[in-house]
Amino acid sequence: MSSGYLILENGKIFNGTLVGNEHDVIGEVVFNTSMTGYQEILTDPSYAGQILTFCYPMIGNYGMNLLDNESTKPQLKGVVLGDICEKPSHFLSKKTFAEQLEETGVAGITGVDTRELVKVIRKEGTIKGMITNCIPPRHELEQLWKNQAACWVSQVSTNEIITYHQAGPHVVLIDYGYKKSILDALLKENCKVTVVPYDFTFEQIKALNPDGILLSNGPGDPMMLNSHFYDIKKMVEQFPTLGICLGHQLIALSFGAKTEKLTYGHRGGNHPVKDIQSGKVYMTSQNHGYVVVKDTIDKDVFEITFQNVNDDSVEGLKHLSHPIQTVQFHPEAHPGPSDTEYIFRNFILHLEKVGDMKYAIT
């Protein structure tokens, strides 16, 4: 391992040691506060285009296994660590965290004062950064910072239709960068699941004759997909729908609401969310940088179902006349608490009620 740097867009530089694939990368620097679940976090497609800072001081303690990946490979640009464990201890461990980075082409830097880095992000907001083994001239960096806009969803979504045959309700999972745990949750409910690309049209979805649709999580600014809002609105008005994370934002936008970027996002496994109807507070897993603006939601169309306890941001919506529900958090919660796993069961109940289906829920 060789010496390296994390260079921020504001000019601040953090020294460290390069790990994984030692090549230069540029991305949006964000942080996750989870204490466990680094494998699931590393392989979450919602981090595409980003350099992820792990707040927990040591990463890699229990190694990497063959069970907990949320996608076939990491989609993020790089990782920033305080310390890395080179000798993990767990009976399922097959490789170290550093070996996983190397094999999948992910750049990393360890030995960084992550507490100071997180303070910078919390104060100044999410910022672009570069992991490198040398410090380029400032004029080169300024040009690099300008060339980072991209539609990351198009880079992480599937290019083909994939069907998982089971006896229960047929759910079309629109892949904006879905986590495997979402698919697993549907299969656990005995659903037949058809995974389709993010740019499927209403007519293509209709031709699959689903009982319901699920709009998945995914990376980036939801407004990058504004050309799809018309089709999304037609889909969700036609079929019982569940939207998760980015899916939640896309549904709100398709009905005329607006989104805005948070200063430093919600990323972690301990975000408190209040159920407006019951008053109960759930602990949730979250990973997003944008939120739906409360004042732009048409109250004659949607009711707000969940609200973030920390900042009062919108965490869930329910359509007043169609079987459409959305949540900003991750009810499948890998990693994180399973408090809101019941949302998947409620979704299946919607399919039965609205579609007058005969499937039995075991």
Is 266 one of the annotated active-site residues of the chain? no
Sequence-separated (6 or more) residues with CB below 8 Å from residue 97: 38, 59, 60, 63, 64, 84, 85, 88
- Counting runs of H as helices and runs of E as strands, what totals does the chain give? 10, 19
**Given the residues 266, 271, 288, 330, the one annotated as active site:** 330
Is 99 one of the annotated active-site residues of the chain? no
Sequence-separated (6 or more) residues with CB below 8 Å from residue 49: 27, 28, 75, 76, 77, 148, 150, 152, 219, 220
Q: Is 246 annotated as a binding residue?
A: yes
**Given the residues 315, 332, 350, 352, the one annotated as active site:** 332
297-341 confidence digits (pLDDT tens): 999 999 999 999 999 999 999 999 999 999 999 998 888 888 999
Q: Is 227 annotated as a binding residue?
A: no
In contact, 218 and 187? CB cutoff 8 Å: no
Angle in degrees, CA 303, 290, 82, rounded to 5: 135
Sequence-separated (6 or more) residues with CB below 8 Å from residue 157: 175, 176, 177, 197, 198, 199, 218
Q: What is the pLDDT of residue 340?
A: 93
Domains of the chain: residue spans and CATH: 3-146 (3.50.30.20), 153-355 (3.40.50.880)
Instruction: Provide the whole-model pTM.
Output: 0.95
Question: How does strand 259-275 pair with strand 314-319?
Answer: unpaired
Q: Is 287 annotated as a binding residue?
A: yes
pLDDT band at 149 (very low <50, low <70, confident <90, very high): low
Is 332 one of the annotated active-site residues of the chain? yes
Q: What is the pLDDT of residue 359?
A: 41
